A and B are shown apart, each in its own frame.
Chain A
Amino acid sequence: MILHPGILALLAGSVITFAMLLYAAGTGIQILRGWDFTSSSERQLLLERKTFLVSTIVNYTFGFQILSLLLFLYTADRLHPQFVGAMCATGSLNANPAGWNVLFLKIILGFASAFWITGNILDQRAEDFPLVRPKYTALLFLTPLVGLDLYFQLRYFTGLHPEVITSCCGSLFSERGFTIASGLAALPPRPMMRLFYGTLLADLGVALLCLKSSSGTSRILLALFSVVTFFVAIASIVSFVSIYIYELPSHHCPFDILQQGYDFVGYPIYLTLFGGVFFGILPGLFHPMKKIATLQGLIEGTEQKWILLSILLICSFVVLCSRPVVFGAFTLQGYR
């Protein structure tokens, strides 16, 4: 294991948050079992008070989860000089395959945490805590995921041996290979560009439609388009955005853009994409909850903001990705 300060912070933070979440989940089970909003017994009063404790704890821990995704990526990137042949986070993650599990789990947890926190904010604003049951049921599913995240982090960091020769991004994201990453890299840039801009335009169109109409179908459509946008955008970053940023037709790595040499441009790119997709999914996700009388007004009041934020973030994402394509000195003439 490498005793790196970033690793210590990640592990210490994860242990603390998992312990806190276990406590919160335990309390959550009590709440799920005994919750009866109509009752005015002492037990119900105590449970209502405990919901505040649980939501505070979960807010903190999920806030940490979102930060830890960034810290994990940056730490993996920082560790790469330790491994022979590694040039960015890809090399560090390849040094021990458990790292990829951590990355994917952290992305899933980041999204799930953000959804939970949003639901919690809505629930606490409503007078009768209508989302208590779905919230705590979700918590019971999320807690093991956080535990799994801690387990994979421990396995990843304890299994890192600096002398291991790992393959660098050049060989993983090369176009001749049978892995998913190679498949993404081999996607031809021109058709991929059409797909990328087409999908994003469609997504923005649906978002604008959602601003005008209040129909449920448009919101669910927006959520679906946001999910599609997410995957198309990731595939496009690997397929063509990266090569425009690196100005090298064979370099497809999605992690190198996080490095200082490229002005850390990867962070705003990923943050705007994740944010835009998140806010795009929210209206569709919470649409079924408009049936609850106390939530209807609240959701309708905030969903306009979500849609606007989604439009703003996705537009920023498009601008960030298109800047090197439009203004960069690099062109793909002669390549496919």
Chain B
Amino acid sequence: MRRLKILEYALSSLLRRKYKNLSLVIVYALTISILASILFLTHALKQEAEAVFSDAPNLIVQKLFAGRHDLISTDDIHLIRKIPGVGDVHPRYWGYYFDALSQSNYTFMGIREGLPGLKLVEGQMPAEEGECTIGRGVARAQFTGLGDQLVLIDSRNKSVKFRIVGIFDAASNLLSNDLVLMTRKGIQKFFDFPSNRATDIVVEVYNPEEISTVAAKIRKMLPGTRPIAKDEIFRTYDSVFNWRSGMMLTLFSAALFAFSILAWDKATGISGAEKNEIGILKAVGWDTADILELKFWEGIVISFTALLGGLTAAFVHVFFFNAPLLTPVLKGWSVLFPTFRLTPYIDLYQVFVIALLTVAPYIACTVIPSWKAAVTDPEMVMRS
């Protein structure tokens, strides 16, 4: 009950100095919103990446030549298939295509059968050589739709026409946005793949625990190859996003420092009226511990308001406006990244991390000034 009364007094005393406190809360909330935006965005991107890769093959085998990715011989498939515990092994044909007209990169892929995880919104999968199924982004960039023609320039600099038989949508727009699917024959002809060469080989391993063993066997059998497990891709993405968000947080800690100086300054610059107030409170029987508790509650109210405000601002910034201020740094190298809507999600752990990162410096900066105010001698105040 006593605590509630002190909280009530703290609220009323904060309201009495609304403009001073409001300015502090706004700056505090802005600092929090920057840090929270970074965490929300990286987390959302990580989730997207995970959603995209959840259907990725367990093991991919790439050929390396002089340290670079090269086309792999399809003869290797027979060798890999002989390893015990290995299921289906098949080649993949894919590549990138730069479209000068729309100034964007497309991903081309040849298919055997329907890719899992991709929802077809309209039409069907390509069944013949001259057919293709495209992502929403490609359709938008080319101003085309179902039944139209997609005109592309092949590796011999000849224009090739593909009939659009389907348009994609996916659980995450990220995967299919820039995708152009065609038949295997279609892509082999378009990119002029040498016969018995593929981009990489997909290996199905029955027991997920055995993936690393199978990978080791493949490396031994085919020394010029690089087997990549799905877990490795996940781990790399995780570490890249952690690194990026950590880097951004470290950079933006300068803002936190600046804010801490402001908080220190605001807390030290105690006005005559405030001193008077504390003097009177002490004269009417409040002791130093009470005043410190009052200051503690004031700090809590300010921090909590700023935290709520900052988190809300970050949420709106990231999930409603797609984080225009941060995406160039966090999304990656591609300038022509597809526009996609991030799935709104708040992780309590991140809220906890943000609270610790921002509230701890604020408290550290205000503890000494609050104490100085609390030990004010009532008599001295009254006299001055």
Using a CB–CB cutoff of 8 Å, the interface residues on chain A facing chain B are 2-10, 12-13, 16-17, 19-20, 49, 52-53, 56-57, 60, 64, 67-68, 71, 74, 78, 81-82, 84, 124, 162
B250 touches A5 (CB 8 A): no
B98 at the interface (CB under 8 A from A): no
A12 touches B360 (CB 8 A): yes
Q: Contact mask B140-160 → A, CB, 8 Å, 1/0?
A: 000000000000000000000
A7–B242 Cα distance when bound, in Å, is: 10
B353 touches A71 (CB 8 A): yes
Q: How far is the CB of B384 from chain A (nearest CB, A)?
A: 19
Sample of 20 A–B contacts (CB below 8 Å): A3-B243, A3-B247, A3-B249, A3-B250, A6-B353, A8-B250, A10-B356, A12-B253, A12-B357, A12-B360, A16-B361, A19-B364, A20-B367, A53-B367, A56-B292, A56-B371, A57-B367, A64-B356, A67-B356, A71-B353
B349 at the interface (CB under 8 A from A): yes
User: Assuming the A-B contacts A8-B250, A52-B288, A53-B368, are A2 and B349 also in contact, with contact meaning beta carbons closer than 8 angstroms in the complex?
Assistant: no
Which residues in chain B, 306-321, are within 8 Å of chain A measured between CB atoms? none
A3–B246 Cα distance when bound, in Å, is: 5
Question: How many pairs, one residue from A and one from B, have CB atoms within 8 Å of each other in the complex?
Answer: 88
A2 touches B360 (CB 8 A): no
A78–B241 Cα distance when bound, in Å, is: 13
**What does DSSP make chain A's interface, helix, strand, loop or mixed?**
helix
B238 at the interface (CB under 8 A from A): yes
A321–B87 Cα distance when bound, in Å, is: 43
Q: How far is the CB of B207 from chain A (nearest CB, A)?
A: 16
A124 touches B289 (CB 8 A): yes
Q: Contact mask B333-363 → A, CB, 8 Å, 1/0?
A: 0000000000000000110110011001101
B31 at the interface (CB under 8 A from A): no
A162 touches B235 (CB 8 A): yes
Using a CB–CB cutoff of 8 Å, the interface residues on chain B facing chain A are 39, 231, 234-235, 238-239, 242-243, 245-247, 249-250, 253, 288-289, 292, 296, 349-350, 352-353, 356-357, 360-361, 363-364, 367-368, 370-371, 374-375
B242 touches A3 (CB 8 A): yes
> Which A residue sits closest to B239, measured CB to CB?
A162
**What does DSSP make chain B's interface, helix, strand, loop or mixed?**
helix
Q: Which of A5, A17, A68, A74 contacts B249 (CB 8 A)?
A: A5
Q: Which 3 pairs between the two chains have the least Cβ-Cβ distance?
A: A3-B246, A53-B371, A49-B375
B356 touches A9 (CB 8 A): yes
B residues in contact with A53, CB < 8 Å: 367-368, 371
A56 touches B367 (CB 8 A): yes
> Which B residue sits closest to A74, measured CB to CB?
B349
A23–B280 Cα distance when bound, in Å, is: 30
B239 touches A5 (CB 8 A): no
A13–B338 Cα distance when bound, in Å, is: 38
A240–B243 Cα distance when bound, in Å, is: 39
B residues in contact with A4, CB < 8 Å: 242, 246
Q: Which of A6, A8, A52 contacts B371 (CB 8 A)?
A: A52
A8–B353 Cα distance when bound, in Å, is: 9
User: Assuming the A-B contacts A71-B356, A81-B235, are A49 and B288 also in contact, with contact meaning beta carbons closer than 8 angstroms in the complex?
Assistant: yes
B residues in contact with A49, CB < 8 Å: 288, 375
A82 touches B239 (CB 8 A): yes
- A12-B357, A82-B238, A84-B231 provided; 18 other pairs, C-beta below 8 A? A2-B239, A2-B242, A2-B246, A3-B250, A5-B242, A5-B249, A8-B249, A9-B357, A10-B356, A20-B367, A52-B289, A52-B292, A53-B371, A56-B367, A81-B238, A82-B239, A82-B242, A124-B289
